[in-house]
Chain A
Amino acid sequence: MSELKLMKGNEALAEAAIRAGVDAYFGYPITPQTEIIEYLMNERPEKRTGMVVLQAESEIAAVNMVYGAASTGKKALTSSSSPGISLKLEGISYLAGAELPAVIVNVVRGGPGLGTIQPSQADYFQSVKGGGHGDYKLYVLAPASVQEMADFVEDAFDIAFKYRAPVLILSDGLIGQMMEKVILKDQKSRLTNEELIEKYGDWAVTGKKGRERNIITSLDLQSEKMEARVHRLQKKYVQMEKEDLRFEKINCDDAEYLIVAYGSSARISQKAVELARAKGLKVGLLRPITLFPFPKKELFKLANQVNGILSVELNAGQMVEDVRLSVEHKVPVEHFGRTGGIIHTPEEILEALEQKIINNGSIRHHKTRESGIL
């Protein structure tokens, strides 16, 4: 039976992982995501579903445990927060290179360095531009509610196994820590080893019973083979853009101005849109749900309609670069963000929109450019 509960985002994600039939979780404590491993340890998932939960000696060990379980076709999950994700990047690069399905959760806090334990979106670049070494990308899901913290676990594993690629759930300290009602799905059973071998026996290392051996590796010392591997990865990323791009449009139909925001910034920006509408300003919100793939084409289309775009983020200006690339200078694009763990208010966002976009000659600017007089 599905169930309605009041939960923290981190707890909802942990409970959803058990219910989604995840085989293993490996993690290491770090604020503000520690509730995930605490919840799992408390729930004794090994008794509920047979799920393995292990506190690793480091984030590095945890992500490599995920690599080990994933190389055998098991659904393996790890979570951390920003400094811990930096440590996991080596393993994430190996997961991508060895083409392994796995899910990594980042409940982002402010940085750089030890930074702060307060919410932030300053890991955008790290998440969508690769992060670790080599030519790879992560499929990145950005939840904006406790419900999505729960729902995205299963979505993430579906994508991870569809592409045999690591998937990142990019949350933040706000979504992870806040409590909301959440509808939890029914318990799904884990794959039996026989079912797993049936499904993934063509690549997973499970012991070579009745088949040629399998090898999981990211190493190709022959350049041509390595280039073929890189090309294979890039094909996946193109396919992700075609088939698995996700975004949400709020009040965009008649919008003259656009806010682009994801995760907790999108939640707050939605309120800013309401405030703007109450003042008679036609403002819409585009919420990328996947940060890679990014809704480039949708933004390009909207750029024909709106007079200016404000990228609202909890950082010093990261996603704004992708917004600018997407609209190809058709309209002015500005950034508004708070850092250090400070969360912007809806009023601040509206004020920034008015100052940076609406009252900044953006319409004139835009028209001048279009007429080629600039």
Chain B
Amino acid sequence: MEALDIIKPENQVFCKSQLMTDTPLSYCPGCGHGTANNLIMEVIDEMGISEDTIGVAPVGCSVLAYDFMNIDMTQAAHGRAPAVATAIARTWPEKYVFTYQGDGDLAAIGTAETIHACNRGENMVIFFVNNGIYGMTGGQMAPTTLEGMKSSTSPYGREIETMGSPLKITELIANLPGVYSVSRHAIHTHKHARKAKIAIRQAFENTRLKKGLSFIEILSNCNSGWKMTPNDANIWMEENMFPYFPLGDIKVEGKLKV
């Protein structure tokens, strides 16, 4: 069989979303951001809401998301995306609004904005990409950096006594009454990515139905920041991050999963 016999629409199992621009991804090879960007764009495209969606990307590796997501987007100051998105959702209640934030952004500098937007139950979606490190600035300790994990600002590993425990902000947020749905996913395998996509779709459906705030954490690798090969990084993530940040639904239709 020739290659051309195989390259047919009916045989296609994966492609770049039409809503992704042709700009080459600036994320490091092996990084999960590209897959996360693509999944969100796939869902928006499939729902036919690309002309009614406004995305907010703050500071960190997520800052350049607007180079790749071919929709209207606003770039926010570090940590402030939930506040920026709040105002957009309040003044344009018929639109689909989402933020796309990393762990430093959402769980450190933007903790207040995150908690209060969630507590108010703003009708929007928050995507929280947690790779346990500051990727953009070159691998510093994040609020979600695991105990003992080395980074450029915890070169001997994170010490709980002096640096605190890795913050489970997603669980914290799930406990706020204003939050409608919370789940944690991974996207490093097709199986995981498909599950994540279902959750992303549900989150935007929640917005459509004015259910309030949907929060999706995506565990991802940062092979550059972790100083591993992409494959090793994924294995490390499964072995170390999954036990501390377990995957699955945390809150469904306003009810905490026990």
A64 x B91 contact (CB < 8 A) = no
A215 x B87 contact (CB < 8 A) = no
State whether A94 and B77 are in contact (beta carbons under 8 Å apart), knowing that A56-B83, A207-B54, A213-B70 are contacts in the complex: yes
A215 x B66 contact (CB < 8 A) = yes
Docked Cα-Cα span, A219 to B65, in Å, equals: 12
CB < 8 Å: which of A61, A206, A213, A218 contacts B83? Answer: A61
B87 x A69 contact (CB < 8 A) = yes
State whether A65 and B87 are in contact (beta carbons under 8 Å apart), knowing that A206-B92, A207-B53 are contacts in the complex: yes
A64 x B92 contact (CB < 8 A) = no
When distances are taken between beta carbons in the complex, the residues of chain A under 8 Å from B77 are: 64, 67, 90-91, 94
B84 x A64 contact (CB < 8 A) = yes
State whether A71 and B88 are in contact (beta carbons under 8 Å apart), knowing that A61-B113, A65-B83, A216-B75 are contacts in the complex: yes
Q: Does A208 contact B (CB under 8 A)?
A: yes
B87 x A66 contact (CB < 8 A) = yes
Docked Cα-Cα span, A146 to B106, in Å, equals: 41
Docked Cα-Cα span, A91 to B86, in Å, equals: 15
Q: Does B159 contact A (CB under 8 A)?
A: no
Could you tell me which residues of chain A, from 195 to 238, have a CB within 8 Å of some CB in chain B?
Answer: 205-210, 213-219
Docked Cα-Cα span, A90 to B113, in Å, equals: 15
Report A215 CB to chain B, min CB distance, Å: 5
In the complex, residue of chain A having the shortest beta-carbon distance to the beta carbon of B53: A207
State whether A205 and B74 are in contact (beta carbons under 8 Å apart), knowing that A68-B56, A68-B88, A217-B66 are contacts in the complex: yes
In the complex, residue of chain A having the shortest beta-carbon distance to the beta carbon of B80: A64
A207 x B84 contact (CB < 8 A) = no
When distances are taken between beta carbons in the complex, the residues of chain A under 8 Å from B73 are: 205, 213, 215-216
- The number of chain A residues with a CB under 8 A from chain B is 39
B80 x A205 contact (CB < 8 A) = no
When distances are taken between beta carbons in the complex, the residues of chain A under 8 Å from B194 are: none
When distances are taken between beta carbons in the complex, the residues of chain A under 8 Å from B233 are: none
The proximity string for A residues 38-72 relative to B, scoring 1 for CB distances below 8 Å and 0 otherwise, is 00000000000000101011101110111111011
Docked Cα-Cα span, A57 to B120, in Å, equals: 10
When distances are taken between beta carbons in the complex, the residues of chain B under 8 Å from A207 are: 51-54, 71-72, 92, 95
Q: Does A193 contact B (CB under 8 A)?
A: yes
When distances are taken between beta carbons in the complex, the residues of chain B under 8 Å from A285 are: none
A206 x B72 contact (CB < 8 A) = yes
In the complex, residue of chain A having the shortest beta-carbon distance to the beta carbon of B93: A52
When distances are taken between beta carbons in the complex, the residues of chain B under 8 Å from A94 are: 76-77
**B50, B87, B116: residue with the most chain A Cβ atoms closer than 10 Å:** B87
Report A168 CB to chain B, min CB distance, Å: 18
Report A58 CB to chain B, min CB distance, Å: 6
Report B76 CB to chain A, min CB distance, Å: 7
Docked Cα-Cα span, A90 to B79, in Å, equals: 12
Could you tell me which residues of chain B, from 45 to 60, have a CB within 8 Å of some CB in chain A?
Answer: 50-54, 56
Could you tell me which residues of chain A, from 65 to 108, have a CB within 8 Å of some CB in chain B?
Answer: 65-69, 71-72, 74, 76, 90-91, 94, 98
CB < 8 Å: which of A60, A91, A209, A219 contacts B52? Answer: A209
Docked Cα-Cα span, A246 to B92, in Å, equals: 35
State whether A208 and B71 are in contact (beta carbons under 8 Å apart), knowing that A23-B91, A71-B88 are contacts in the complex: yes
B72 x A65 contact (CB < 8 A) = no
B84 x A71 contact (CB < 8 A) = yes
**B86, B91, B92, B116: residue with the most chain A Cβ atoms closer than 10 Å:** B91
Could you tell me which residues of chain A, from 234 to 250, have a CB within 8 Å of some CB in chain B?
Answer: none
CB < 8 Å: which of B51, B72, B91, B113 contacts A69? Answer: B91
Docked Cα-Cα span, A98 to B66, in Å, equals: 14
Given contacts A54-B90, A60-B112, 16 further A-B contacts (CB under 8 A): A24-B87, A24-B90, A52-B87, A52-B90, A57-B116, A67-B77, A68-B86, A69-B87, A72-B74, A72-B91, A90-B77, A94-B76, A205-B73, A208-B51, A213-B73, A217-B66
Residue ranges of B at the interface with A (Cβ–Cβ < 8 Å) = 50-54, 56, 63, 66, 70-77, 80, 83-88, 90-92, 95, 112-113, 115-116
Q: Which 9 A-B pairs have the closest CB atoms?
A: A68-B87, A68-B84, A217-B75, A65-B87, A64-B80, A205-B72, A57-B116, A64-B83, A69-B87
Residue ranges of A at the interface with B (Cβ–Cβ < 8 Å) = 23-24, 26, 52, 54, 56-58, 60-62, 64-69, 71-72, 74, 76, 90-91, 94, 98, 193, 205-210, 213-219
